[in-house]
Amino acid sequence: MRNPFKKKQPKIEEPIYQITMGDDIPLLLFVGEYDPAKIEPIRNRGNFCKPYGGVWCSPFKPDTGSEWFEWCTGEQFKIPSLKDPVTFIKVNHNGKFFKINTLSNLRKLLAEFELKDNRRSKFMTPALDFERIAKVVDGIYLTSAGEGATRLSEPENLYGWDCETVLIFNSNAKY
């Protein structure tokens, strides 16, 4: 028998994509001297899961510098040295970022923001329309868990992001 006093709980839909505010993004490490005048606007890059432009950062880790430093050392790729300039970036607390921490997050973003004119072969993955995304939010935050979940997933993936990353589209999102 149904309890007449128990209200039916409304079904809560999971959001199409997850937005996180700047407060939720850790201190970032940018390899180089940050100069907003040199930041290129976001431009799509056909057949590739990374755009041109923006500010590519990795959350700071006191022990190792960042996952980017760890990855470069492990892969022997542009190994950062202690002589290289670095800039610490704190994201504005009002900044809005798409957060990818699961494959589901990436799939939902692609459902809404897939690059429609992407001329991909059967070997290329669907690509995000970063130019459209940049009109909605200040950047993308790919967490460590998200990088692991999306690195070699099929058919969509973020292979090439390589580590926990924050890609800032809008230089006003930085303090």
Backbone angles phi, psi at 105, to 5 degrees: -60, -45
Residue 136 has pLDDT above 70, yes or no: yes
Of 18-27, 45-54, 120-129, 130-139, the least confident: 120-129
Do the domain assignments include residue 138? yes
User: For position 123, what pLDDT does the model report?
Assistant: 46
Handedness of CA 175, 39, 18, 146 (dihedral sign): negative
User: For position 12, what pLDDT does the model report?
Assistant: 39
Domain count, the chain: 1
Find the angle CA(98)-CA(145)-CA(68) to the nearest 5 degrees: 85
The span from the CA of 95 to the CA of 42, in Å, is 17
User: For position 153, what pLDDT does the model report?
Assistant: 84
Residue 119 has pLDDT above 80, yes or no: no
Contacts of 102 (CB under 8 A, 6+ apart): 145, 146, 149
Do the domain assignments include residue 120? yes
Do the domain assignments include residue 34? yes
| Percent of all residues in the chain with a pLDDT value above 90, rounded to a whole number | 32
Residue 116 has pLDDT above 90, yes or no: no
Q: What is the DSSP letter of 156?
A: S
Q: pLDDT band at 10, cuts 50/70/90? A: very low
Do the domain assignments include residue 5? no
Range of the domain at 63: 19-173
Q: pLDDT band at 143, cuts 50/70/90? A: very high
Do the domain assignments include residue 3? no
Contacts of 91 (CB under 8 A, 6+ apart): 22, 25, 28, 97, 138, 166, 168, 173, 174, 175
Backbone angles phi, psi at 89, to 5 degrees: -120, 130
Do the domain assignments include residue 91? yes
pTM of the model: 0.82
How confident is the model over 11-68, as pLDDT tens digits?
Answer: 434 445 677 887 788 888 887 788 877 788 999 987 678 999 999 999 999 888 889 8
The span from the CA of 56 to the CA of 125, in Å, is 21
Do the domain assignments include residue 93? yes
Residue pair 23/78 in contact (Cβ under 8 Å)? The answer is no
Q: Residue 141 forms beta bridges with which residues? A: 99, 166
Do the domain assignments include residue 8? no
Q: Examine residue 36 and say whether the peptide bond preceding it is cis (omega within 30 degrees of 0).
A: no
